[in-house]
Amino acid sequence: MIIVTGGAGFIGSAFIWRLNQEGITDIVIVDQLGTDDKWKNLVNRRFVDYIPKNEFLKMAGEDKVPFETSAIVHMGARSSTTERDADYLWENNYLYSRKLAQWAMKQNIRFIYASSAATYGDGTLGFDDDHSKISKLKPINMYGYSKQLFDLWVLKNKLENKVAGIKFFNVFGPNEYHKGDMASVIFKAFHQIKETGKVRLFKSYKKEYPDGGQMRDFVYVKDCLDVMWWLFNNSHVNGIFNLGTGKARTWNDLIKAVFTAMGRKTNIQYMEMPESLRDQYQYFTQAEMNKLKSAGCPVKFSSLEDSVRDYIGNYLQQADQYFGK
C-alpha cells in the first residue's frame, strides 16, 4: 500500500492522479478534509481508503497500521505563508512530519516529503540545495521555518541518505482550486480576466525591479509529478532537492501568458502591496537544479507559456477542471 498524506490537497491529489495513470490504485489517503472544497480533488481518483490524519498518526505511533506499506509520500501540511499560529505550524508541519518519518524508518519504507522554497527566506543567501548550506537559511515566515525545522531534523539524524525531500518552488496547476489566497496567480488571473478583463499585480518597492518585474521560478505541477514519480521509482536517490524549472520569470511574463492562452489583449494594473506583506515578500526565486540533474533525474521542464496554455485550455476552460480518470 502507498500512503499519500495531504492526498486530498493540491500536489497530493495530483500525485495520486499520476499513480492512477500508472495503473496503481493500492493507495491510502491521509488528510483532514475540513470544510473547504478539497474533497472534490478525490472524486476522479481511485484509492482504497481515506484515514483522518490524527487517526493515522495514532495507528503509526502504536504500530497498529492494519496494512503493509511500501511508501509514504508526505505532502500534508498547512501551506499558508501567512498563517500566524506558530504553535499549530510547529505541531502540524514539523512534529507530525518527524513522527511519520520515524515510523517510516522503523518500517524500512520509502519516505518522500515536501519541503519548500519558503525555507530560503528573502533569497539573499541564494537558492542552493547543498546540504551544507541548509543550516544557514533564514526563513521569513513561520510556514517556511516549520519546513526548515524538518529539513534540519533530517540532517541532524543523518537521514539524508534514507529519505527524499523536495523544496517546491512556485507550483501551479489543476487541483489547486481549494487553496483560496494561496492559489496560484495564474488561477486568480484567469478569473479576474473573465470578470473584469484585467489583472492587478503588486507594485515593486525595490528600484532594481520594475512593477511586475519581480521574478519567480514558476513550475507546472505536471513537471513536479514527473520528478516525484522518478524519485518514487529510484529509492536509491535520496537527499533534499530543489524542484523548480531553474529559470526565473517575471510576473508580467506570467500574466501575458495567461492573456495569450485566453485569447485576450494584455491589460495589467499595478496596486499597492499591503504593508503586512512587504517585509515578507520575495522579489526573486530561482531554483538551483544541478543537484537533481546530477542525481540522474531525466525530467525536462515545460516552458511557462506551454504550461499556462495547457492549464487553461485543458482544465480551467473545461466543465471538469480537475485531473481526470
Query: Which one, of 183, 166, 175, lies nearest residue 97 by Cα?
Result: 166
Residue 99 clears pLDDT 90, i.e. is over it: yes
Output the average pLDDT for the chain.
95
Report the interhelical angle of 221-233 vs 10-21 (nearest 10°).
Answer: 60
Q: Cell for 187?
A: 488561477
Residues 265-286, mean pLDDT to the nearest whole number: 90
Please list the active-site residues.
143, 179
- Residue 236 has a CB neighbour count (10 Å cut-off) of 7
| Cα–Cα distance list, 226 to 27, 32, 112, 170, 219 (Å) | 18, 26, 14, 16, 12
| Residue 29 near residue 47 (C-beta atoms within 8 A) | yes
Phi and psi at 215, nearest 5°, equal -120, 145
Q: Does residue 142 lie within any of the structural domains?
A: yes
- Residue 261 has a CB neighbour count (10 Å cut-off) of 22
Question: Of the ranges 34-43, 75-84, 218-227, which one carries the lowest mean pLDDT score?
Answer: 75-84
Q: Does residue 156 lie within any of the structural domains?
A: yes
What does the pLDDT look like over 156-178, one tens digit per residue? 999 999 999 999 999 999 999 99
Helix (H, G, I), strand (E, B) or coil at 107: helix
The number of distinct structural domains making up the chain is 1
Instruction: Determine the Cα–Cα distance for residues 262 and 194; give it in Å rounded to an integer.
Output: 9
Helix (H, G, I), strand (E, B) or coil at 97: helix
Q: Does residue 76 lie within any of the structural domains?
A: yes
Q: Does residue 265 lie within any of the structural domains?
A: no
What CATH number should be reported for the domain holding residue 102? 3.40.50.720
Confidence band of 187 (pLDDT split at 50, 70, 90): very high
Residues 107-126, mean pLDDT to the nearest whole number: 95
Give strand ranges (E) for 127-179.
164-168, 170-172
Query: Which one, of 18, 42, 99, 25, lies nearest residue 65 by Cα?
Result: 99
Position 98 scores a pLDDT of 96
pTM, whole model, 2 decimals?
0.96
Q: Does residue 242 lie within any of the structural domains?
A: yes
- Residue 124 has a CB neighbour count (10 Å cut-off) of 8
Q: Does residue 43 lie within any of the structural domains?
A: yes
Q: Does residue 235 lie within any of the structural domains?
A: yes
By residue range, what is the domain housing residue 293?
A: 2-173+219-246+286-302
What does the pLDDT look like over 214-265, one tens digit per residue? 999 999 999 999 999 999 999 999 999 999 999 999 999 999 999 999 999 9
Residues 171-193, mean pLDDT to the nearest whole number: 96
Confidence band of 88 (pLDDT split at 50, 70, 90): confident
Residue 280 clears pLDDT 80, i.e. is over it: no
Residue type for position 240: I
To the nearest whole percent, how much of the chain has pLDDT over 70?
A: 99
Q: Does residue 254 lie within any of the structural domains?
A: no
Residues 133-158, mean pLDDT to the nearest whole number: 95
Instruction: Determine the Cα–Cα distance for residues 272 and 298; give it in Å rounded to an integer.
Output: 41
Q: Cell for 117?
A: 522554497
Position 82 scores a pLDDT of 67
